[in-house]
Amino acid sequence: MNVFARPTPEARGLGMTSQRARDRLIDRLKADGIADRRVLDVLRRLPRHLFVEEALASRAYEDTALPIGQAQTISQPWVVARMTEALIEHKVPAKVLEIGTGSGYQAAVLAALCGNVYTVERIEELLRNARRRFRKLGIENLRSRHDDGKLGWPEHAPFDAIILTAAGEAVDPILFDQLAPDGVLIAPVGPPGTQQLLRYRQADNGWAAQSLGAVSFVPLLGGLG
Ligand code: SAH
């Protein structure tokens, strides 16, 4: 992919946004248990500083969530890495649906690893900014849509993987209907303060969830923002 092959000076970064800053973040993620080299490699190359406002760029390689406006956040790099690792562990999905585009960072990570990425965001302004970033980075295997992602994206189903980056009380069955039989769905589930990151895969008697640990995500909301 393009930006990776030949990064612009802006994408390459300087000082707090330089390759050294990215490398330090990767060392930290490794120390904190992220082991998949494919994921570490993408995070090492993807300029996270382009996914936050300029005023926050110097903090882009801290392992922390950051505000992106509209009361939303770009997820913590460790969480992005963990979710991506869990998503591709058994098979690299050819077709992925992300619900909650936000800054576009998680979608860009997925686009670097998977065949085709579909991402849905309910807040138009966030989606506009994310699309500008996708264009700037030359990401072509990604389609985005302004909609309520609770409904999935039925026109492009079935997906090999579905990832929610906002937390609901439960996963709506409508999303499982859009998942391939050998697919995987990853979602933060539960009320603020007690959310668990769950990975669903097909078992003998339906979809079975495995917990990947405690997390803290913004809420999955209904309707358009
Ligand atoms: N993946 C994002 C994380 C953004 S935070 C990133 O890498 O930056 C979660 C996002 O989910 C927010 O932008 C929020 O507006 C969006 N969201 C919440 N409920 C949604 C819904 N029902 N449909 C689509 N997007 C939703």
121, 101 Cβ separation under 8 angstroms:
yes
Q: Report the nearest-CA residue for atom 11 of ligand 1.
A: 100
* Average pLDDT over all residues of the chain: 95
pLDDT for 212 beyond 60 = yes
pLDDT value for 153: 98
Neighbouring CB atoms inside 10 A of 10's CB total 12
Q: CA-to-CA distance for 39 and 26, rounded, in angstroms?
A: 10
**Atom number of ligand 1 nearest to Cα 220:** 19
Structure tokens at 154: 């039925």
**Ligand 1-lining residues (CB < 6 angstroms):** 72-75, 99-100, 102-103, 105-106, 120-123, 126, 148-150, 165-166, 218, 220-222, 225
As a whole number of angstroms, the distance between CA 123 and CA 144 comes to: 12
Question: Exposed/middle/buried for 216, CB within 10 Å: 0-12, 13-18, 19+?
Answer: middle
What is the chain's percent helix, strand, coil content, to nearest 5? 40, 25, 35
pLDDT tens readout for residues 121-159: 999 999 999 999 999 999 999 999 999 999 999 999 999
Could you give the domains of the chain? Answer: 64-214 (3.40.50.150)
Q: Which two tokens stand for residue 204?
A: 């003998």
